[in-house]
Amino acid sequence: MTQRLRIIFAGTPDFASLHLQAVIDTPHEVIAVYSQPDRPAGRGRKLIFNPVKQRALENNIPIFQPKTLKTEEVQQELMALKPDLIVVVAYGLLLPGVVLDIPVYGCINVHGSLLPRWRGAAPIQRAIAAGDTETGVTIMQMDVGLDTGDMLLKACCPIRRDDTSKSLHDRLATIGASCLQQVLDLITAGHTIAEKQDNSLANYAHKMSKEEGGINWNRPAAELDSLIRAFNPWPVAWAELDGERIRVWGASACETDFEQAAGTIVGAGKDGIVVSCGAGSLMLKQLQRPGSRAMSAQDLLNSRSEQFAPGKQFA
């Protein structure tokens, strides 16, 4: 008979919620869920339950939301649960060494990158922004380092030329959930094989910032195409025109070079707004003006053709 593990699940966003469901769907018992504290959101600043907490409530799983795992009180609470395993997916809080040592089988983490390529908070976005053609999911045995633990399972996923962070996130979540179930089977069967990471190949995937989404038109169009897709749906790339911050939701790179200075609009029509870049040009397809909704370039030109006329220049 397969061993039934007592599992604590730690996670917060939608990516983690899908993995929580994958664990719930196994024969194992999720004895508790740890998630970040509720935070105010929206104009009313109302406290919103995160996706992991919502799924835990739907399945009547006890929920713990400490601000940190570093206090003795929280650590004693964890010990009292007597977990066989802690599964961590996009939790957002560091697990101290004393916590890593609590479960019988330690703690495992599902990470949205082919480690050690992208360690850190934003591996999906950084892979797209860097122009990577492949990424994937790694499940690792956690240690006190940041995504430095030994790897238990890896699964590859191609990055398509039209992938945004959202579309790639959704595919990786599906892949990761399946891999997690496989690793749980390996653990209970005693068949896990841990592979050490090559630290010389590691890059740090810093969190995305709104200011980082500013478009530098002197860069090659292909790089800007990757940047725009990486920043969709958050925080969204942007450029200034006539003193307005225009958000760019969708674009495509062209190899055609123009004599006009980088940032100059060289064409505007139903297919998009073409802007000269450091190398090649970029066709803007979906844009958003301040206080307005995102819309196609054609719809925007119907009402704002003068603002986006050829010859105008983005800052």
Of 45-49, 178-182, 189-193, 234-238, which range is least confident? 45-49
48: nearest Cα among 10, 14, 88: 14
Query: Which residue ranges make up each domain of the chain?
Result: 6-205, 211-304
Hey, what are 24's tokens?
A: 């719930």
pLDDT at 70: 97
pLDDT at 1: 46
Hey, what are 55's tokens?
A: 């799924």
Q: What is the mean pLDDT of residues 66-77?
A: 97
Give the Cα-Cα-Cα angle 73, 77, 80 (nearest 5 degrees): 135
Using CA atoms, how far apart are residues 169 and 186, in angstroms rounded to an integer?
25
pTM as predicted: 0.94
CATH tag, 211-304: 3.10.25.10
Query: pLDDT category, 285, cuts 50, 70, 90?
Result: very high
Q: What is the mean pLDDT of residues 2-20?
A: 95
pLDDT at 2: 67
Given a cut of 80, whether residue 168 has pLDDT beyond it is: yes
Q: Which residues, listed in sequence order, are joined to residue 9 by a DSSP beta bridge?
A: 33, 87
pLDDT at 3: 86
Given a cut of 90, whether residue 45 has pLDDT beyond it is: no
Residue 155 burial class via C-beta count within 10 angstroms: exposed 0-12, middle 13-18, buried 19 and up = middle
Given a cut of 90, whether residue 83 has pLDDT beyond it is: yes
Per the prediction, the chain carries an average pLDDT of 96
Query: pLDDT category, 157, cuts 50, 70, 90?
Result: very high
Q: What is the mean pLDDT of residues 39-51?
A: 83
State in words which class domain 6-205 has: alpha beta
Peptide bond into 235 cis (omega under 30): yes
